Amino acid sequence: MADGRRIKVKVNGVLYEREVEPRRLLVDFLREDLELLGTHIGCEHGICGACTVIFNGQPVRSCLMFAVQADGAEIMTVEGLARDGKLHPIQEAFQENHGLQCGFCTPGMLMTAYHFLQENPDPTEEEVRVAVAGVLCRCTGYKQVVDSVMAAAAKMRG
Amino acid sequence: MKPSVFKYFDPTSVDEAIGLLQRYGEDAKILAGGQSLVPMMNFRVARPKVLVDINKVQGLSYIREEGEEIAIGALTREREVERSTLVREKCPILSEAVSHIGHLPVRTRGTIGGSLVHADPSAEIPTVICALGGSMKAVGPSGERSLGPEEFFLTYLTSALGPDEILTEVRVPVLPPGTGWSFLELSRRHGDFAIVAVASIVGLDGDGRCNRAAIALGGVAPTPIRAREAEEALLGRALEGALLEEAGRLAAEATEPESDYHASADYRRDMARVFVRRGLEEAIERAKGGR
């Protein structure tokens, strides 16, 4: 491998150490090197949002970062949502409200909703629409996605 | 696709980064937020042989008030600009413009300096900096220089930065209380690039006459442009309906739009006219409302 670099990255609480080529995209690192296939790769230019992950607490497009830039970072992917075999309330809400059909955009939707609800636990529908507009869904027409995020917000508020 | 092979450097100081640019010249590209460069690399429209990642360079991320200006480090993320209380209170048009950029996961990475250097004429930051008359601080091997928007933006995707220069800071004026402003954008969906963007700043004196006018348009020329004739038509006058229509018409005449699959040149020009009028109306309302 030309110019390989050794990086240490914490993903969903697990520390990984790997050698990567500089041109390795973060999304490919997660999928190919760590075999975390939950994060999907769609457009590869930052438009579709399927590859959205939480990077040091902030949502990012993992197709627009290089794995070398994640050295020392903490990342959360969709695999980090469920705990001890129990779905996260956001995942439950998507299931109950039919917030997906084909499921391709779902990891991006879930991670977007996860960050959004941390910042805004009691959102309006309009605010949810603006948040999920950053992820393209060609199945649901967004109605069920918005319903799911609203339902998740209610669940998480308790 | 995937990016082609490149050599990767992650310097920790501006001097070190400039040294790398001197060494590799036109082969090198600076990587800041990567929200424009990396898509171009993924498509292989851009194939830099060397990437100089400045994300570890210290001291390039800050927002602070300095006299009558706000100084913003080039590596400051768009999201930080958007959320800054200082910017919202003292230069609210900048917060508003930034909120139109892409979606949140783009603004968490994208930087104010990266957007300026990328110099996309339909992007929000170049347009609003043009209206504000901001200044760009470039640092190179022979020292630093300061460039105004009309010197900085040369043409499509081309800034005046030399191959061994780095943009380190942008400065914008504090808008005095009572200054009216507006940032309007026509795009098909929220987050898309602007078909037309209009940034307007208006000041009114005690008699309601215009004592400050700046109108910048994005998406309608190879660079963001100032509608100077329209601005001059407003100065010293009471701003009312017919004059605003006239300003819209003069601004539209200053545009040099091109047709593409988003919009025809004629449509862009006409929307420039409409959005300048609407933007002035909104700016005047804010000026009268004291905010």
Judged by a CB distance cut-off of 8 A, whether residue A22 touches chain B is yes
CB contact (8 A) between residue A134 and residue B106: yes
Looking at residue A3, what is its pLDDT? 76
Instruction: Output phi, psi for B278, to 5 deg.
Output: -60, -40
Q: Which of A80, A99, A114 marks a domain boundary?
A: A80
- Residue A66 and residue A102 in one domain: no
The Cα–Cα gap between B34 and A136 comes to 21
Low-confidence ranges of chain A (pLDDT < 70): 1-2
Q: Which of B1, B109, B111, B115 should one mutate to test binding to chain A, selecting the residue with the greatest count of A CBs within 10 A?
A: B109
CA dihedral B132, B179, B94, B168 (to 10 degrees): 40
Quick check: A64 and B5 CB within 8 A? no
Mark whether A31 and A97 lie in a shared domain: no
Q: How many domains does chain A have?
A: 2
Q: Does A59 touch chain B (CB under 8 A)?
A: yes
Domain interval for residue A119: 89-157
Q: Does A10 share its domain with A76?
A: yes
CATH code for the domain of A43 = 3.10.20.30
Across residues B37-46, what is the average pLDDT? 97
Same structural domain, A76 and A96: no
CATH of the domain at A123: 1.10.150.120
The answer to whether residue B8 scores a pLDDT higher than 60 is yes
Provide the token pair at B283. 């700016």
The answer to whether residues A153 and A94 belong to one domain is yes
ipTM value for the complex: 0.95
A69 and A94, same domain (yes or no): no
Residue B100 touches chain A, beta carbons under 8 Å? no
For residue A2, the model assigns a pLDDT of 60
Mean pLDDT of B44-70: 98
Q: Is B43 on the interface with A (CB under 8 A)?
A: yes
Nearest to B106 among A61, A130, A131 (CB): A61
Please identify, among A80, A98, A117, the residue that sits at the C-terminal boundary of a domain.
Answer: A80
Establish how many alpha carbons lie within 13 A of residue B112's alpha carbon, considering only the half-sphere containing its beta carbon.
32
Same domain membership, residue A94 and residue A65: no
Sign of torsion, CA B167 B169 B173 B177? Answer: positive
A106, A141: one domain: yes
- CA A107 to chain B, closest CA, distance in angstroms equals 14
Shared-domain flag, residues A45 and A70: yes
Shared domain check, A103 and A74: no
Which of A80, A113, A131 is the endpoint of a domain?
A80
Rounded to whole angstroms, the Cα distance separating B172 from B168 reads 14
Whole-prediction pTM value? 0.96
What is the pLDDT confidence band of residue B290, given thresholds at 50, 70 and 90?
Answer: low
Domains and CATH numbers, chain B: 7-54 (3.30.43.10), 63-173 (3.30.465.10), 180-288 (3.30.390.50)
Is the CB of A28 inside 8 Å of chain B's CB atoms?
Answer: yes
Give the confidence band of B291 by pLDDT, cuts at 50, 70, 90.
very low
pLDDT in the model for residue A14 = 98
Question: In this predicted structure, what is the pLDDT of residue B192?
Answer: 82
**pLDDT tens digits for B120-143?**
999 999 999 999 999 999 999 999
Residues A93 and A75 placed together within one structural domain of the fold:
no
A67 with A14, same domain? Answer: yes
Residue of B nearest to A42 (CA): B1
